[in-house]
Structure 1
Amino acid sequence: MEQLGSTLVYALLGLVVFMVALMVMEVITKFSIRKKVVEEGNIALAIVLASVIASLGMIISSALQ
């Protein structure tokens, strides 16, 4: 039971760090990433965003282990 609690804490911590990183990326760019990808259908930006998400996931995963 203790391991389950620990796993949940680390999962929530990882999600919080992930969301903060995405918010920082949104603030740093001069345009709305959501608008460019969803409304304008910018495939290149979607691919870059997907690679950033995968990279952040790997970094956060290794940092929390």
Structure 2
Amino acid sequence: MGVEWFKPGVFVGSIIFALIGVLIFWISFLIIDKLTPYDLWAELIEKKNTALAIVVGAMCLAIGMIVAASVHG
């Protein structure tokens, strides 16, 4: 951790890659939500389906790791 983080190019690049990662994660989650036969949000919030919440949480972690690995290179 040196002085290179204070350079504007490095900081802006980090912000852009973070935004790209969040955007890819969000699009991936929307695609998976559309592929499932029911509304994930209603099932999680209204019906309080704990098992589905665990599966969706694991899916989010997996998508996040894939996006992080692809952005990191």
User: Which 5+ residue runs of structure 1 have no aligned equivalent?
Assistant: none
Among residues 34, 40, 43, which one is paired with 2:47 in the alignment?
40
Identity of aligned residues (%): 23
User: Which 5+ residue runs of structure 2 have no aligned equivalent?
Assistant: 1-7
1:21 and 2:28 aligned: yes
1:4 and 2:11 aligned: yes
User: Number of aligned pairs?
Assistant: 65
Q: Which has the larger radius of gyration?
A: 2
Match of 1:53 in 2: 60
Q: How far off is 1:30 after superposition? A: 1.0
- Whole-angstrom CA distance in 2 between matches of 1:12 and 1:59: 15
Q: TM-score, normalised by structure 1?
A: 0.97
Matched residue SS, 1:41: coil
RMSD of the alignment, in Å?
0.5
Q: Which runs of 4+ in 1 moved over 2 A?
A: none
Select the structure with the greater relative contact order (CA < 8 A; seq sep ≥ 6): 1
